[in-house]
Amino acid sequence: MLHYAVVFLVIALIAAVLGFGGIAADAAGLAKLLFFVFAGLSAVAFALGLKRKS
Q: Is the pLDDT of residue 44 over 90?
A: yes
With 70 as the cut, is the pLDDT of residue 5 above it? yes
Band (pLDDT 50/70/90 cuts) for residue 9 is confident
CA dihedral 18, 22, 24, 30 (to 10 degrees): -160
Three-state SS for 19? coil
Q: Note the pTM of the prediction, 2 decimals.
A: 0.72
Residue spans per domain, the chain: 2-53
Burial (Cβ within 10 Å: 0-12, 13-18, ≥19) of residue 49: exposed
Q: With bands split at pLDDT 50, 70 and 90, how would you rate the model's confidence at 21?
A: confident
